[in-house]
Each structure stands twice: as C-alpha cells, then as structure tokens.
Amino acid sequence: MALDYGRVLDGVGSTARRTDWTMVLAACALVAIGITFIWSASSRPDETGWFPLTGLALKQALWAVVALAAMAVVLVTPYRFFARFGYTFYFLAMAGLLYVLVLGPEINYARRWIALGPPGRHFLTVQPSEFAKVAFVIALAKFLRYRESYRRWWGLLVPFGMAALPMVLIAAEPDLGSALVFGPVVFVLLYVAGARKRHLLLYAAAPVAVALVFWLLGVKVLKPYQSDRLLALLDPEGHAGGAGYHLLQSLAAVCSGGLWGKGLGQGTQGQLGFLPARRTDSIFASIAEEWGFVGATVVLALYAYLLFSAMAVARQTRDPFGRLLAVGVMTLLATQALINTGMTVRLAPVTGLPLPFVSLGGSSLVANFIALGILLNVGARPTLVLSREDFQ
C-alpha cells in the first residue's frame, strides 16, 4: 500500500501545533548554559582576545543537534509505539549494560561505555546506562498500566525486580550515582499507579534492614571510596585530603560566587583547577561561582518550569500509560537534578551523576532529549485512551 505523504504531513503539523514548545525552549536554555560553561572551562583566548567555540564545547553543541533530532523523531511517533515495544527497549538496554561489563573498555577504572574505534583512539563512546534509565521508565509504565497485582505486597516483586537488575549492573561498572536514580522512579510510579503506602514502606525498609545486617556481620558492600564519600558528607573537613576534597571545593565555589558571581571565566576554583569535574558533575558549582546566586537561581527556575509543566501533562492525559510515562520522565529528570545540585551544597554525597541538559556528555544529552520528546508526545495527545476507562 502506498504511503499517504499528505496524511503524514498533516499528522506532523497537528502534533507540532499541540506541542508545548516552551518546554523545549527551557531545555535548550539549559543546554546553552551548559555549553557556555564547558566553553569557559575549556577554552583559552586566541590572538584576537576571543574565546573560539572549539574542543569540548563544540562537541557538546554538535551533540545538542543530534539530541534535538532524536527528540523530533520521538515526538512525531505516536506513543502507542512505545507501549508496544516497551519490553524490547528494556531488554536491549540490559544487553547494553551487560556488554560494557564484559567487553567494554576500562576508562578511568570503570567500564561504562561502548567504544567505537581502535583501543586508545576511540572516536565515539556511548554510555548505555543513560538510555537504560529511559527504557526502564517505558517498560515499567507498560507493566503498570492495566495490572492490579501491585495492590498486593507480592505484586510489587516484578516492578522492583525490573529496577534491581539495571541497578546491580550499573553499580558494578561502577556508577553508584546512576544506579540510585532507579529507586525514586519505581517508588513514584508505583505510588501513582495505586500501590498501597504500607507496601511501599515495607519495600523501602527492606534494603535498610539488609544493609544493617551486613554492617553487623562486617560484610562490606560498598567500595572503599564510596564509603569514604558517605563519611565525607558528614565530616568533609575531616576528609579534606581525600573524599572530602571535592565537596569542600564545591562549597567554596558556591559560597564565593555571592549574589552576581565573579564573571564568566573569572572563577578561581574552577579556572585554576581546584574544582574537580567542573564540566560534568560539578558544573552547577561553576555556574554558582561565576554567575552567583542569580545565575544558579535561573538554572533552578528552568528545572522547576520543566517539572511543573510535566505535572500538567500528567494531569491532563486520560491514558494510564501516558500518565505513567509523564510521571516517570518527570521523576527521572527531577531526581538527577536534585542529586547533582544537592551534592554541590552538601545535601547529597558526591556521585558521578550529570546535571540534565547541562553537564558535558553526549549520551546523557541525547537520552534526556528523548525523555523530553516522550513527555511532549504525551502532552500533544492528551485524549488518546488505550484502555476502557480513564486513569484512576
């Protein structure tokens, strides 16, 4: 049967008219801020005194183009497609996580990437854990959309098992920060789907009880540097020469920024190399140092706008799967933003978790825009119902 291009174009145009483009603008503003600070941390003035857009900043800008293209493809694809292939995405993501553990190259003492190119000269690396987060949201939303078994305590075994598998694989890379993201997502989606609060509390208490038993038995689950980071959160000055160094430098950068900041490219902690990972994990501290409280507030306001817009999408859709998708994406982005910004001001331990849309990293950027495309997709089709009754 011949493809009706007119009908396809009409469908694309209709989706574009119903799309909330202000969410895209907010995300692009975050990307622009991220590229600005990657550029500030990576570039040096040329003979004319200008800072050319080269190196890592240019690479991030090119990844932003790829990410926007991926978002556009997701947006114009009716989200019933994701319901149909939700489990397929999940198992492909798990296969990617297994691949990096077995065959992935070791970079900075971790196996997190699928690398293309000869050893030591990789021209492209992909981090499967970033895409596993999105695949998990899709698969769990599919599993929960019609089932009522999660109203019983044993019915939660499958959803928590679906979360436990990527958590274990990602923690083994090791990447504890990314592994922890799955916890809030599964709890929030189960709560929205209708799981009983006492059952959720029971499952929340279980890992705490297991950790306590391991501690009493002297069994060490965390690696030494992970334990040191937790201790450094309680007493950073006592670990200033080790795990507390990163946290102390982040605090120094945030506090020294004042109201308006020291100016772009003028931050001492970041520009002089005292602040570790200033383009990735600690980029929010760089923003607070050079743009001050005002700049940091702008970044947080952009995240708040995305969060409340996602809540509006979840409220207006009548489809169980669509609502769960919207809530899952909202929780995924909010959790990463809260943990990343929290660790710069001693509200969370230092972890290798990027700031969504801002931190350097192509895989993270593309995965976040795919998640945003799913959210916009649901918002553009609020009356699509895949079940006999509206979501309760």
**390 inside domain:** no
Residue 109 counted as domain residue? yes
Tokens of 308: 């409340």
What would the pLDDT profile of 329-342 be if each residue is shown by its tens digit? 999 999 999 999 99
pTM: 0.90
Which pLDDT value is given to residue 26? Answer: 97
Query: Residue 286, exposed/middle/buried by CB under 10 A (0-12, 13-18, 19+)?
Result: buried
What angle in degrees, to the nearest 10, is found between the helix axes of 157-171 and 86-102? 30
Domain membership of residue 161 (yes or no) is yes
**Interval 78-118: pLDDT, tens:** 888 898 999 999 999 999 999 999 988 888 778 898 987 77
Longest Cα separation, the chain: 71
The pairing of strands 124-126 and 114-116 is: antiparallel
Residue 3 domain flag: no
Q: What pLDDT sits at residue 169?
A: 96
> Contact at 8 Å (CB) between 122 and 115?
yes
What 3-state DSSP class applies to 350? coil
357 against 243, higher pLDDT: 357
Any domain includes 2: no
Q: How far is CA 235 from the centre of its chain?
A: 28
Q: Is residue 311 in some structural domain?
A: yes
Domain residue limits at 352: 21-43+52-380
Q: What residue type is assigned to position 201 of the chain?
A: L
pLDDT tens digit sequence for 281-315: 999 999 999 999 999 999 999 999 999 999 999 99
Per the structure, the count of domains in the chain is: 1
- Tell me whether residue 199 is in a domain: yes
How many residues are listed for the chain in this entry? 392
Contacts of range 58-66, beta carbons closer than 8 Å, 24 or more positions apart:
59/362, 60/34, 60/35, 60/360, 60/362, 60/365, 61/35, 63/361, 63/362, 63/365, 63/366, 64/28, 64/31, 64/35, 64/365, 66/362, 66/366
Residue 16 lies in a domain: no
Residue 347 identity: L
